Amino acid sequence: MTLACVLGCAGRVLSAEEVAFFRDRRPWGFILFGRNVENPDQVRTLTESLRASVDRPDAPVLIDQEGGRVQRLGPPHWRRHPPASAFAALPLPPSGQREAARLGARLIAHDLAAVGVDVDCAPVLDVPAPGAHDVIGDRAYADDVEQVGVLARAVCEGLMAGGVLPVIKHIPGHGRATADSHERLPVVDASREDLERVDFAPFRMLSDMPIAMTAHVLYAALDATQPATTSHSVISEVIRRGIGFEGLLISDDLSMKALGGGLAERAAASLDAGCDIVLHCNGDLAEMEAVVAGARELEGRAAERARAALARRIAVVEPLDLQEATERFDTLLGRRLQA
């Protein structure tokens, strides 16, 4: 049995309690945060331990490695990557901006694959709106829909060329939110027409990607009571039908304060609404017990989507001359980033 959840762990090594918990509950995958990271050898050992705990060498290990503010692997062992907004700001033609975005993602994939991480929760496809909360801010590639889609696709291509699956987020769009969903539920009052024209558009452009992450955002024009993560109508009518996303759908972190009710209730509500997998990030064992109590076995259409997503990891990655790629990337950026 495999549970339809992705879970974190508390520290840099697994405790005996965590090993026993994961062995018994068997989550589909795991996610790493800064608290889990010390150096490359330690992270590689941890990812191996996580997979061994569920006796699945192919169990996915996720991380948020966008660049800028959201980068779990960083100096001194890993280079600092620019935020998404940096690529559209480069004084280059669109082809050069796209090359820089793809190459930066290929370098990120190289770092992740080297330590056993095979899913990156990036890129962000949210289109920022004037007056929105800065929780997205420079994590967005641009405020032009077409440019967001083009640069985000380049990032997805770069990650997948390195054997790392991208996760497009936060579907169907977090760019208008005037609150941080980590702290409270954002409510978006935009019309369905405006949402279709702007917010949903980049996700339609990348609807062929393997994995997407939901937004804990309430769209009043779509569902007046439930945020996207727990809204059956938003998931079925907008994400699946309107946007056309047929891949694996993962909730954003269940511990975020935008969601109401207990963690078991949040997990059950997300899966009932149409999420395939629920995500819990903070590694608190008591909270994870509650999450798995509300989760369920990964089966049926959700299991098919999970298998299809993982099948898109390539066994032989695109060749990379690391020194040449790094020098080219720095040239495109016009400056030498500190490692």
Q: Among the options 252, 253, 276, 280, which is catalytic?
A: 252
Spot the catalytic one: 24, 182, 232, 272. 182
CA dihedral sign of residues 295, 124, 228, 225: positive
Active site residue 110: no
Question: Hey, what are 173's tokens?
Answer: 């769009």
Return the closest-CA partner of residue 200 out of 174, 232, 166, 231.
174
Identity of residue 117: V
Task: Report the DSSP pairing between strands 3-7 and 187-188.
Answer: unpaired
Three-class DSSP category at 86? helix
Cα Rg, the chain, nearest whole Å? 19
> What are phi and psi for residue 306, nearest 5 degrees?
-65, -45
Burial class (CB in 10 A: 0-12, 13-18, 19+), 301: exposed
Q: Is 81 a catalytic residue?
A: no
Residues marked active site are found at: 182, 252
